[in-house]
Chain A
Amino acid sequence: MSTETIAPTLTAKDFATDQEVRWCPGCGDYSILAQVQKVMPTLGIARENIVIISGIGCSSRFPYYMNTYGMHSIHGRATAVASGLKASRPELSVWIVTGDGDGLSIGGNHTIHLLRRNFDVNVLLFNNQIYGLTKGQYSPTSEEKKVTKSTPMGSIDHPFNPLALALGADATFVARTMDRDPKHLQAMLIRTNQHKGASFLEIYQNCNIFNDGAFEIFTEKGSKPTETLFLEQGKPLLFGAANDKGIKLDGFKPVVVDLNLGHSADDLWIHDEQDIYKAQILTRIFDDPKIEGHLPRPFGVFYQTNRACYEDVMAAQLEEAKTRKPADLDKLLKGNEVWTIQ
């Protein structure tokens, strides 16, 4: 994102608005808002250059609570609105706040196109695996057989794997974090901002009203160490309460090994954010935690690469065109062939 440097004299409070926050008490969105407000003043971006664009859904109320520029647009279209803004105003720091319904269902098309075009924007996808604002229908990330108001006999839909989808659309930055781990969330927000290009950050977010505990197994103290895998650049894939379990590649297949049973950390998969092939395997580690022998769910930066940003190439073309042929309105209006009537 934008690397403009100014003295960070603002605090989290400067990013709060006078509007009453209207999410349900206990909603995971509160934590995300708090972390974003904490991180924003540290980024070195002038407040007036920050724009938060959202679509529709619980998460999309976000801009109203951030004292920056903001637009609460229409369902699914935040990514498209942001594309036009970023294309025409490359110097702005543009953040998109969307949800699993907004960004992957009604707005799925715009999400993949934004990623492939690689606008230098930050996509924060709040995934709660449910439609909250419309009061509890299944979403495109809800698990199969899920019983909701619209699926009394269980959902038939196979869910999206958001990070695999993002990578499939050639996203240049793909990461996952969770509402209940403020430190990791902050770190991921900072990484998201640092990346020049379209950054896709999936945030597991608890909807305590319609889908309470959807991510409990990853977020609660008791199960978190064995059920999650925190990725760190250049470090082996370790997990477990005593960091005594690891992931090793057996051919293309990731397998769990126990360091107490003769394996050493040297045998393990070393995380490399730049490796697209490994990133694809990582995003595919998406097992249902209820299934015996499942792999832990990875969190962190899966993949990061550099590719030209749409708005930069567009601006360069404009500059080149101006150099080649300076704009002359009268010449344009006249065209190539004219005749005169006396």
Chain B
Amino acid sequence: MVRKQEVLQDVVIKFAGDSGDGMQLTGTQFTNNTAMLGIDLSTFPDFPAEIRAPIGTLPGVSGYQLRFSSDRIFTPGDSCDVLVAMNAAALKTNLSALKKGGKIIVNTDGFDGKNLRLANYPEGENPIENDSLANYEVIKMDVTKMTREALKDFTMGMKEKDRAKNMFVLGFLYFMYNRDMENTIGFLKEKFGKKPEIFESNVKVLQAGYNYGDTTEIFTTTYTVEKAKMDPGTYRSIMGNQAVSLGLIAASQKSGLPMFLGSYPITPASDILHELAKYKNFGVRTYQAEDEIAAITSAIGAAYGGSLGVTTTSGPGMALKGEAMGLAVMLEIPLLIIDIQRGGPSTGLPTKTEQSDLLQAYYGRNGECPMPIVSASTPADCFDAVYEAVRISVQHMTPVIFLSDGYIANGAEPWKFPNSESLRPIPVKFKTQLGDQEEKLQPYSRDEKLARPWAIPGTAGLEHRIGGLEKQNVTGNISYEPENHQLMVKIRQEKVDKIAEYIPEQKLDSGPEKGKILVLGWGSTYGAIKSAVAELQAKGHAISHAHLRYVRPFPKNLGDIIKNFDTVLIPEINNGQLIKIIRDVYYVDAKGYNKIMGVPITKTELLMKLEEMLAE
């Protein structure tokens, strides 16, 4: 038969199924396949906090959203064109995100009486049998049956066979979007190379899914999305936590400091520990500590010994590390504290995203305890941002907090990765001997940055003691002198403030220098803000976007930028945190746009808010 080929510009697919259905893997495979074609993309995995919630239930649904486009895109999309629903619960949880007229690919086996009951559909009602989905195009396939059929010659048990179901769906989607399957076959070979039967069965089902689309005459159209107009260069796909890991290794290599990661497992930061544990060949020491406090204090011990000390965590762990961060501030020692934020307070929403640790990072310690804060705005940006955080830490002798969140940690995008030679050098000098005028080491003497010398154990003649008690300026001896304490508090603050002289000035991401509205963001709201602002700019509105990487200290020209706009809007996935600091520092009547639902702000929502403001 002759099939129509339709060229699309922008597609959003949501893969949804039970946590055990392999939706994350299916999504990642389709993503990599898309990336290799030079199509721009953005992803948003969304999974339950429970590893295996009861099969078939609503809380057990795991989702993976992928948007791909021949245009440059900056968000994973507000609503979907295609929903893959492996069972009734997956349909129920995700239907509201599907566009009217969108396609639903359902596994009919996931809509039997038991699954419908577990998904809380009323007795006798099956959404794929009645007319409740009349506004959508429903593609029904008995994936389970066809998977079993494809594997009828295999000797493995039924349970094992059913595990390949996701490959059938993936194969079908490869057919639907005119894709080559080589990368997935290569992936399966690597993953199951030592278990030939599993490898062969997966490939068999993958091909069966493709062939099902190809030979069944009901699918009259296939789709293609063309290459995006991206900057020339070589790209790879990268997730935020991966980019943090690579950024740390790169910074370790470029500074010549061996890395020590002290970490305690916590969602959504654990992947950095897993990733870094693979790179012992880069001299990376990963230490899974007994708790969050040992994680940071072991990193402090390593930093004291001359390593690049790093600790990774999320909100609850940040709270536990507070006292030790204060110690690092007092010791004036380099240390990276990486907080992949999630919904709080307390255990909160472990697998959902939020930007609600900013005030904790800013103020959440006893005493006057300033620390620089650097934030990342997209998955790939995590690399540059964490690299910058390391540079500030080791060159200014200060602990630095790096903020990311669950959204960008697990999201992926294309990354034009750098060449190692092009990375900015991070020169670090340990103090190796006494200066001409020195009789003994003055551990709290300072350079022009107000940074103190880093003299590490093993250096003869520089033996000295440091600690958490207030110390005399220059000598570092314990001091309870009233004037000295005030002096030291001011110096520690000034040292952090001074970093503003060593970071780039704030630039507008887009828009005119003067105008009606400045949308000021930080962190993972970048894509939504950029997309919404771009639409309004195209309509001729005087609206601009500035996105902060350096949250403490602020770039020194930020106040001047803010003054050039009638109104400042600060969208955040929290109850208003950056806004408090901006109001405090710049006395500006900034407006907030706050969403606290554990999910990112969408472009559409923000656009509505901005249109409202423009109409005022």
Contact = CB atoms under 8 A, between A and B. Distances in A.
Q: Are A and B genuine complex partners?
A: yes
A110 interface: yes
Contacts of A342: 232
A85 B304 contact: yes
Contacts of A318: 280-281, 283, 285
A73 B300 contact: yes
A329 B289 CA distance: 27
A341 B230 contact: yes
A324 B301 contact: no
B285 A341 contact: no
A209 B230 CA distance: 74
Contact of A341 (B232, B279, B420): B232
Interface string A54-83: 001000000110111111111001001111
B334 to A, nearest CB: 13
A192 B290 CA distance: 25
Given A85-B305, A329-B249, A74 B327 contact: yes
B167 interface: no
Interface in A76-105: 77, 80-89, 91-92
A84 B227 contact: no
B507 interface: no
Given A19-B477, A72-B465, A81-B300, A89 B458 contact: yes
A335 B236 CA distance: 7
Interface string A316-340: 0110111011110110111101111
Given A19-B477, A82-B301, A84-B298, A341 B246 contact: no
A80 B235 contact: no
Contacts of A92: 305, 457-458
Nearest to B468: A74
Interface in A226-254: none
Nearest to A340: B234
Given A73-B468, A327-B282, A48 B459 contact: yes
B441 to A, nearest CB: 10
A301 interface: no
Interface residues of A, number: 58
A340 B467 CA distance: 52
Contacts of B32: 337
A161 interface: no
B35 A339 contact: yes
A17 interface: yes
B418 interface: yes
A48 B462 contact: yes
A49 interface: yes
Interface string B226-244: 0100111111111000000
Given A327-B282, A329-B253, A337-B236, A84 B260 contact: yes
B561 interface: no
A48 B432 CA distance: 12
A91 B458 contact: yes
A73 B303 CA distance: 13
Given A318-B285, A338-B235, A339-B36, A81 B468 contact: no
B287 interface: yes
A276 interface: no
B463 A109 contact: no
Given A333-B246, A337-B183, A74 B323 contact: yes
Contacts of B298: 80-81, 83-84, 87
A279 B237 CA distance: 57
Contacts of B233: 340-341
Interface string B430-463: 0000000000000000000000000001111111
B306 interface: yes
Contact of A87 (B38, B237, B285, B297): B285
Contacts of A203: none
A85 B457 CA distance: 10
A321 B477 CA distance: 43
A327 B324 contact: no
A85 B301 contact: yes
A51 interface: yes
Contact of A81 (B230, B297, B459, B478): B297
A165 interface: no
B590 interface: no
Nearest to A67: B463
Contact of A71 (B234, B307, B467): B467
Contacts of B203: none
B265 interface: no
B88 interface: no
A88 B457 contact: no
Contacts of A53: 301
A92 B302 CA distance: 12
B293 A72 contact: no
B420 A88 contact: no
Contacts of B419: 330, 333
Given A84-B303, A318-B280, A333-B419, 7 more contacts: A72-B465, A84-B262, A89-B457, A332-B249, A333-B420, A341-B231, A341-B233
- Nearest 4 Cβ contacts at the A-B interface: A72-B467, A84-B298, A84-B301, A321-B280
19 contacts: A48-B457, A71-B465, A72-B467, A77-B293, A80-B293, A84-B299, A84-B305, A85-B305, A89-B457, A92-B457, A110-B290, A317-B280, A322-B281, A327-B282, A333-B246, A333-B420, A338-B417, A339-B37, A341-B233
